């Protein structure tokens, strides 16, 4: 197992799958994930952190592969009871997942910062990697849609199944937010920084919009690698391709290169997009072409190893 340190700028499912492979490729103690919290929402009176929990459950090996979120072997009795009373149940929380959110909500209400609560949660699952919320401050992704005006991200993503056209995205509270404890150090001190194959607009975008984070990444650009979440002009999961198109970005690996080239010296693209490698390189980035579709943990580990060998050993 390679003895290096790697910090990953992370969103939800794509980042979780990459991290699951990374902790097989290198010592998990050397892995730090800086996780998006702009998707966080108060739902049913509970503080929910979807991206943090997706990464946590995946690294713990208890992720729900049927839904793509939440915990395996989930039941839904609490939501069924809530629906019986006429409660709003478009945002489901499974019975096992409720325990995490009850703990987080109680700790936050007592004054604990999100970073400390996250540390307790990951310790509870026996995770050796370090998960850092991008900030302890409250930030929120707001989406302006053609049909419903400005709505919260979870309403767009879950309630409307990210099927409504988007005209703008903004991150409320971002200007006043500060990087969470350990975030800037994790960026500066790691041997390698990886921008995970997460949505460039609403997963990576809010993390690098927190004052100080983009600058910290840009300052070490040569050892920063982005992984394209776009394969063959489409997102493997979620609305990244549609959001990019609707917001005037090219929904290809070339558009991803444009978004990341100030931060990352290398972009990893899938073999499907090999013909675009030259265009990526013409933008001023090195390009690694490999299998990026992480169908299982072994492929994710191979991807991580390819990145490490391609950047640190060149």
Position 314 scores a pLDDT of: 65
Q: What is the pLDDT of residues 186-228, one digit of tens each?
A: 999 999 999 999 999 999 999 999 999 999 999 999 999 999 9
DSSP of 176-200: T--PPTTHHHHHHH-SEEEE-SS-I
End-to-end CA distance of the chain: 19
pLDDT at 65: 82
Q: Is 149 left (phi over 0), alpha (psi -120 to 50) or beta?
A: left
User: pTM score, two decimals?
Assistant: 0.96
Residues whose CB is less than 8 angstroms from the CB of residue 284 and which lie 6 or more positions away in sequence, other chains included: 261
149-152 vs 140-145, strand pairing mode: antiparallel
Q: Which residues contact 290 (CB under 8 A, 6 or more apart)?
A: 268, 270, 271, 303, 306
| Residue 93 · residue 69 · CB < 8 Å | no
Helix ranges (H only) for the chain are 13-25, 50-60, 77-84, 95-109, 114-124, 153-154, 183-189, 205-209, 213-218, 240-246, 253-260, 277-282, 297-312
- Residues 98 and 41: beta-carbon distance below 8 Å: no
pLDDT tens string 176-197:
999 999 999 999 999 999 999 9
């Amino acid at each position: 197992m390679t003895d290096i340190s790697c910090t990953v700028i992370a969103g939800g499912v794509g980042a979780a799958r990459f991290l699951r492979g990374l902790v097989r490729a290198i010592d998990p103690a050397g892995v730090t994930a800086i996780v998006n919290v702009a998707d966080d929402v108060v739902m049913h009176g509970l503080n929910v952190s979807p991206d943090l929990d997706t990464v946590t459950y995946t690294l713990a090996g208890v992720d729900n592969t049927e839904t793509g979120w939440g915990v395996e072997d989930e039941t839904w009795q609490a939501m069924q009871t809530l629906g019986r009373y006429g409660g709003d149940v478009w945002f489901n929380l499974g019975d096992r997942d409720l325990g995490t959110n009850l703990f987080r909500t109680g700790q936050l209400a007592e004054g604990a910062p999100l970073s400390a609560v996250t540390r307790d949660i990951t310790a509870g699952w026996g995770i050796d990697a370090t998960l850092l919320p991008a900030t302890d401050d409250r930030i929120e992704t707001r989406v302006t849609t053609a049909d419903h005006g400005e709505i919260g991200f979870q309403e767009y993503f879950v309630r409307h199944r990210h099927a409504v056209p988007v005209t703008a995205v903004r991150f409320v509270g971002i200007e006043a937010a500060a990087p969470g404890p350990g975030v800037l150090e994790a960026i500066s001190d790691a041997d390698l920084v990886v921008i995970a194959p997460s949505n460039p607009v609403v997963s990576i975008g809010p993390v690098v919009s927190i004052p100080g984070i983009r600058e910290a990444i840009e300052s070490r650009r040569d050892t920063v690698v982005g992984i394209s979440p776009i394969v063959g002009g489409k997102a493997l999961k979620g609305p990244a391709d549609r959001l990019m198109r609707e917001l005037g970005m090219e929904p290809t690996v070339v558009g991803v290169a444009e978004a990341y080239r100030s931060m990352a010296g290398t972009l990893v693209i899938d073999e499907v997009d090999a013909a675009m490698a030259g265009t990526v390189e013409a933008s001023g980035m090195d390009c690694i072409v490999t299998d990026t579709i992480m169908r299982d943990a072994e492929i994710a580990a191979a991807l991580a190893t390819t990145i490490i060998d391609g950047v640190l050993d060149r």
